[in-house]
């Protein structure tokens, strides 16, 4: 719930602390942000645009696909890595914030919080449709609308752990928000991810150099602390394939008629490779 993370929040306009006043959050400078009845709060600056956020249709597709358990090995690996990082936290800091940048529906953050019973989570995303679901994904999640490319509405050194799963990465802000010694767990697709569908349906592909480019962009701010690949085979029916296409970036670039024709040529079910890198970085 939002009240669990209020002490970590910062005004997006002046970076001062926010406190609750009835159905709003306010800072000492008088900036005020109303709490939505769906359980989230928007801490976007007034000139911010949400056009890049996931649509209601994309969010519904992602919720269905994740609820079916198709990406459970990724969630399990992330929770295991989070527990390992928490075990290495200083003994005088037994609790702390887990901030998920680009949290979407809160699926992965909820899985991590199940493994960390003493932590609370901030689901950060620009899509209000996603955060309506994230606000209900776990009793210890607070959902906040924000822009990943602007200063995040979190106080300096407020997060013990940050998650970033298939989402934008803002190196300077991640460093600012992480405590010294804090960990970023980043999940990104490899070039093999969904390759059978990429080839057959003409979806967006992943660059072979993606991980190197991520390391280069984060290098000035964080130190690599290990990585592993998580790879497994999915058996997807036709509707599952439509769902996985509809929940990702290819949804913006796929013609429904052409997709339907290409789907008709696939076996049902079709075996598809899921392949991601789970990398850890430390401040």
Predicted pLDDT at 88: 81
Q: What is the mean pLDDT of each run of 10 residues along the chain (283 residues)?
A: 90 93 91 92 76 81 93 97 87 76 96 96 95 96 95 96 95 96 96 90 80 92 96 93 80 66 82 96 95
Asked if omega into 171 is within 30° of 0 (cis), the reply is no
Alpha carbons 127 and 146: distance in angstroms, whole number: 8
User: In the chain, where are the structural domains located?
Assistant: 2-282
Q: Burial code of 209-230, b = ≥16 C-beta within 10 A, e = fewer?
A: eebeebeeebeebbeeeeeeeb
Contacts of 116 (CB under 8 A, 6+ apart): 82, 83, 86, 98, 161
pTM: 0.92
What is residue 249's DSSP assignment? Answer: G
Tell me how far apart the alpha carbons of residues 140 and 136 are, in angstroms, rounded to a whole number: 9
Residues 6+ apart with CB under 8 A from 37: none
Q: How far is CA 202 from CA 80, 138, 250, 251, 255, in A?
A: 34, 36, 9, 12, 10
What is the C-alpha separation between 14 and 12, in angstroms, rounded?
6
Task: Give the domain 2-282 fold.
Answer: Rossmann fold (3.40.50)
What does the pLDDT read at residue 48? Answer: 60
pLDDT number for residue 45: 79
Q: What's the pLDDT at 255?
A: 65
Q: Is the dihedral of CA 150, 154, 158, 161 positive or negative?
A: negative
The residues, any chain, with a CB within 8 Å of residue 60's CB and separated by 6 or more, are none
pLDDT for residue 200: 84
Q: What pLDDT does residue 121 have?
A: 97
């Amino acid at each position: 719930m939002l009240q669990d993370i209020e002490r970590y929040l910062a005004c997006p306009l002046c970076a001062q602390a926010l406190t609750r006043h009835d159905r709003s959050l306010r800072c000492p400078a008088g900036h005020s942000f109303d709490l939505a009845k769906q359980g989230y709060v928007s801490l976007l600056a007034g000139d911010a645009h949400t056009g890049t956020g996931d649509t209601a249709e994309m969010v519904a597709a992602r919720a269905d696909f994740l609820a079916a358990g198709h990406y459970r090995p990724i969630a399990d690996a992330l929770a295991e890595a989070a527990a390992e990082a928490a075990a290495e936290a200083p003994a005088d800091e037994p609790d702390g914030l887990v901030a998920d940048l680009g949290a979407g529906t809160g699926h992965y953050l909820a899985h991590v919080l199940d493994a960390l019973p003493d932590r609370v989570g901030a689901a950060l995303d620009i899509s209000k449709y996603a955060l309506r679901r994230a606000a209900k994904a776990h009793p210890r999640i607070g959902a906040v609308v924000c822009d990943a490319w602007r200063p995040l509405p979190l106080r300096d050194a407020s997060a013990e752990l940050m998650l970033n799963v298939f989402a934008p990465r803002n190196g300077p802000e991640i460093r600012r928000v992480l405590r010294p010694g804090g960990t970023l767990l980043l999940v990104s697709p490899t070039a093999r991810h969904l390759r059978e569908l990429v080839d057959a349906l003409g979806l967006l592909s992943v660059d072979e150099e993606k991980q190197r480019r991520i390391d280069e962009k984060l290098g000035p701010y964080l130190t690599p602390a290990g990585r592993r690949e998580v790879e497994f085979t999915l058996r997807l029916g036709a509707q599952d394939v439509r769902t996985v296409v509809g929940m990702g970036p290819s949804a913006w670039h796929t013609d429904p008629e052409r997709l339907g024709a290409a789907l008709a040529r696939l076996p049902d079910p079709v075996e598809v490779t899921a392949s991601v890198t789970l990398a850890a970085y430390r401040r």
